[in-house]
Structure 1
Amino acid sequence: MRRYIAADLPEIRQRILDIHVEVRRRDFGLTGPFYDVERFDERLSTYSSRPGWSAVLGYEDGEPVGFCFGTALAPGTKWWNNMLTPLAADVTTETGTRTAALNEIVVRKPWRGHGVAWQLHEAWLNSRQEERVTLLVNPLNGDGAVQAVYEAWGYRKLGDQQPFPDSPVFSVMLRPVKPT
């Protein structure tokens, strides 16, 4: 596992994009504008421009096996704005140090089912200073199996949101960075 910060993105961008295409398009058949590599690259650029962005890439014998990345939610973030049912202010108020958003976690097929996603997740969280971490997951992925994995990792569902007009409706999940 190797940790990277925004200044390192030029070094790892193509690896991240290649894995995205391999997994999302080829393995899972996700198509449409939201999943296009250009749109994903735009989101990657946007996320990495925010303070506190970091990534973890996993390697085996020098070959990338997966990645995860995310950033801190800044005061005034729009993260919570697209909730289908609004949440209370005590849940959505951000300070810049309260909540980390895990934007992406992707593992290549040969390494799935071996705990690599958990290792990436934990390596990324180990460097985070925030109190809690949130993520979005498509509840239809794997007929709910992906969301169940996050629940097993200690996340709980807060509600649903659709952050982009052409994106799926995602479950919004939250857990402490350091589970008690």
Structure 2
Amino acid sequence: MTVELKQVTAEQLPLVRQAILDIHVEVRHHDFGLNNAFNSRARFDERLTAYSSRPGWSAVMGYEDGRPVGFCFGVPLGVDTAWWSSMKEPLPEGFTAENGKRTVALNEIVVRKPWRGGGVAWQLHEAWLAQREEERVTLLVNPAAGNGAVQAVYEAWGYSKIGEQQPFPDSPVYASMIRPVRGQLS
């Protein structure tokens, strides 16, 4: 299944914010039953605001016949990032050194149910990465999601688990994963 993909910058976020929030609620709340405070519309909107306020934030929206079917977004890790601070075990020296150009975090990738399983998430992911200049991309995934199936998808896309972290007191403990944006990590 192929969808129309549109790149979105922080300046364009007001044009798609409502669609992102609606898709989040539909998928997280209705499809997956994640009706806790951490996954509330308001808390997700707060995180979206925080991420999109950082330099380099970008998103990709997927559409079919003008209807939004999914999105992904992320932001580069700056020198002062807290991304690695909640790791359960320390990573090797130098691994977490960031300069705003080394690592980009894929904060969210969400696809509405009728478009899942047809490669739409992969299309969103690859279109988003095609615009990135960083060396590597990192993400967090709940290892329990889909009884491990979601993490397995990321592994099939070339990501490797490097540890676990819990970035918010009320968030799950996530598997922290990484892969090259293109080619091999140096």
Classify the TM-score, shorter chain.
over 0.9
Q: Distance in 2 between matches of 1:61 and 1:35?
A: 28
Taking only aligned residues, the RMSD between alpha carbons, in angstroms, comes to 0.6
Of 14, 17, 35, the residue aligned with 1:13 is 17
Q: Name the counterpart of 2:30.
A: 26
Residue aligned with 2:94, SS:
helix
Q: Distance in 2 between matches of 1:81 and 1:87?
A: 10
Q: Distance in 1 between matches of 2:93 and 2:117?
A: 38
Amino acid at match of 2:66: G
**Matched length:** 180
Compute the displacement of 1:89 (Å). 2.9
Of 142, 146, 152, the residue aligned with 1:148 is 152
Compute the displacement of 1:144 (Å). 0.3
Once the two structures are superposed, residues 77-104 of structure 1 have per-residue CA deviations (whole angstroms, 9 ceiling, x without a partner) of: 1000000001123210001000000000
Mind listing any 5+ residue stretches in structure 2 that lack a counterpart? none
Of 36, 41, 48, the residue aligned with 2:45 is 41
Structure 2 residue 162 is matched with structure 1 residue 158: yes
Q: Distance in 1 between matches of 2:183 and 2:61?
A: 23
Change (3 A) 1:118 1:60: same
Structure 2 residue 62 is matched with structure 1 residue 58: yes
Structure 2 residue 101 is matched with structure 1 residue 97: yes
Structure 1 consecutive aligned stretches of length 4 or more whose deviation exceeds 3 Å: none
Residue aligned with 1:34, SS:
coil
Of 59, 67, 74, the residue aligned with 2:71 is 67
Of 116, 119, 125, the residue aligned with 1:115 is 119
Q: Distance in 2 between matches of 1:153 and 1:179?
A: 13
Q: TM-score, normalised by structure 1?
A: 0.99
Residue aligned with 1:103, SS:
strand
Q: Distance in 1 between matches of 2:25 and 2:65?
A: 21
Compute the displacement of 1:110 (Å). 0.2
